[in-house]
Amino acid sequence: LTLGGRLTLARRRAKMLVDGDTGSTSDWDDRWNHIKKFLERSGPFMHPDFEPSTESLQFMLETCKILVIGAGGLGCELLKNLALSGFRNIHVVDMDTIDVSNLNRQFLFRAKDVGRPKADVAADFINSQFHIIVCGLDSIVARRWMNGMLEHILNLSLLVYEDGVLDPSSIIPLIDGGTEGFKGNARVIFPGMTACIDCTLELYPPQINFPMCTIASMPRLPEHCIEYVRILLWPKEMPFGDDVSLDGDDPEHIQWVYQKSLERAAEFSITGVTYRLTQGVVKRIIPAVASTNAAIAAACATEVFKIASSAYLPLNNYMVFNDVDGLYTYTFEAERKENCSACSQVPSDLHFSPSSKLQEVLDYLTESTSVQMKSPAITTTMDGKNKTLYLQVINLPFKLGLADGQELAVADVTTPQTVLFKLCFTS
């Protein structure tokens, strides 16, 4: 479905459930009765400081502005839940139409802002508009970018107040949901107070690949057979010419991989290779599971409701959900990381020997599970001038230019702000 189609579907579904197909879009008597039960009378799970009243619902209906990022399987489910919970000011950004490397420009930049730092413009825009942000994304990069943006907003507002004390009103909570097949998570982030996305980056492990020996000689799963064809057979046979690499969007390519995978599977009496699975493995698609999306969206919408109404204590702060085999959920308090590159303002130390090369730093920045950058660009200050460390120097040892204790500023698509690192020479 296109974005329009998905939104229409979500709207229609919401309408069927709420309106009873009356065709009316305005409120009718008792429309919010189901919500009022949570807000206008006390109950055992209520926030200890909350006084039941009609104010919370009024705030939700009339004032509270929510930014929902992502309008895919999870995002649309979220929109439906939020709409049914009484939120009316909902803004949606769909990542399908936005290039992650250009988030600032495409998503929040306006002509009147020419000349201002883009990250500042975006921060102002979000800060002046939204009370709560909800992410229902399948992209870790976009999620990290949004996380970095909220930290940036916080930094800017701290600069404005300059009293070093966190002003709670400057905090925009981030509710983040994620799903992958039968697994999912929902978390609540109060920037500057609780663990941010980057604090727990190790929880998003890089792509897991099957061991090569399994693929090459002991396949057990249909996926192993497809990986065999993709990794080993394609480069050997080059079925579409010497320079043609495998394109997951080319049906002829997928057809070829599919046929060869079937042969491989037959050899080892493995069943389950299908065209669809072949495409999924080649394109690294993890199938979306509607029930997982529904459960995670429900958890996220509940958190939005709790925070917007302040009637209930929010999730503290990370819930994992897994229905691969039976049902399992678990909630824990993810902890802030002292030198988190997104929320700590403390430059992380990079330990390298003076004879190391820039390439080794680049490799570290992309491969380390705690950094996981995509295409880092490094600048530093030398003789009082900002210098970009160009590709040409990546094979020269540090001792030809960089000094111990040198600060390196790194820009990457995973963050709207440059991240500072300090080079520490090891002997």
**Measured from the CB of residue 189, what is the shortest distance to Zn ion in angstroms?**
9
**DSSP secondary structure string for all residues of 323-369:** -SSS-EEEEE-PPPPTT-TTTS-PPEEEEE-TT-BHHHHHHHHHH-T
357 or 422: CB nearest Zn ion: 422
**Measured from the CB of residue 98, what is the shortest distance to Zn ion in angstroms?**
24
170 or 310: CB nearest Zn ion: 170
Is 119 one of the binding residues for Zn ion (CB under 5 A)? no
Closest-CA residue to 72 (of 16, 15, 7, 12): 7
Closest-CA residue to 108 (of 62, 60, 67): 67
**DSSP secondary structure string for all residues of 387-412:** EE--GGGTTSBGGGT--TT-EEEEEE
141 or 342: CB nearest Zn ion: 342
- Please enumerate in sequence order all residues whose Cβ is within 8 A of that of 325, keeping only pairs 6 or more positions apart, or say none: none
**Measured from the CB of residue 415, what is the shortest distance to Zn ion in angstroms?**
11
Tokens coding 91: 């803004």
Is 300 known to be catalytic? Answer: no
Catalytic residue among 213, 225, 340, 424: 213
85 or 194: CB nearest Zn ion: 194
Size of residue set near Zn ion by CB under 5 A: 6
227 or 412: CB nearest Zn ion: 412
Residues 324-363 that bind Zn ion (CB under 5 A): 340, 342-343
**Measured from the CB of residue 152, what is the shortest distance to Zn ion in angstroms?**
12
Cα 190 to Cα 167: distance, rounded to the nearest angstrom:
12
52 or 347: CB nearest Zn ion: 347
**Measured from the CB of residue 151, what is the shortest distance to Zn ion in angstroms?**
7
Cα 191 to Cα 194: distance, rounded to the nearest angstrom:
6
**Measured from the CB of residue 186, what is the shortest distance to Zn ion in angstroms?**
18
Tokens coding 208: 């897991």
Site pattern 192..211 for Zn ion (x: CB under 5 A): ----x-xx------------
157 or 194: CB nearest Zn ion: 194
Rg, Å, the chain Cα set: 25
Q: Name the closest residue to Zn ion (Cβ).
A: 340
**Measured from the CB of residue 198, what is the shortest distance to Zn ion in angstroms?**
5
Cα 90 to Cα 67: distance, rounded to the nearest angstrom:
6
Cα 79 to Cα 74: distance, rounded to the nearest angstrom:
9
Residues 231-270 that bind Zn ion (CB under 5 A): none
Reported as half-sphere exposure (CB side, CA atoms, 13 A), residue 318 has a value of 12
- Please enumerate in sequence order all residues whose Cβ is within 8 A of that of 30, keeping only pairs 6 or more positions apart, or say none: none
Tokens coding 38: 């949570």
**Measured from the CB of residue 417, what is the shortest distance to Zn ion in angstroms?**
12
Residue 421's alpha-carbon distances to 7, 306, 408, in angstroms, are 42, 38, 5
Cα 215 to Cα 414: distance, rounded to the nearest angstrom:
32
196 or 265: CB nearest Zn ion: 196
- Containing 187, the helix (H) or strand (E) segment is strand 183-189
Residues that bind Zn ion (CB under 5 A): 196, 198-199, 340, 342-343
Write out the catalytic residue numbers. 213
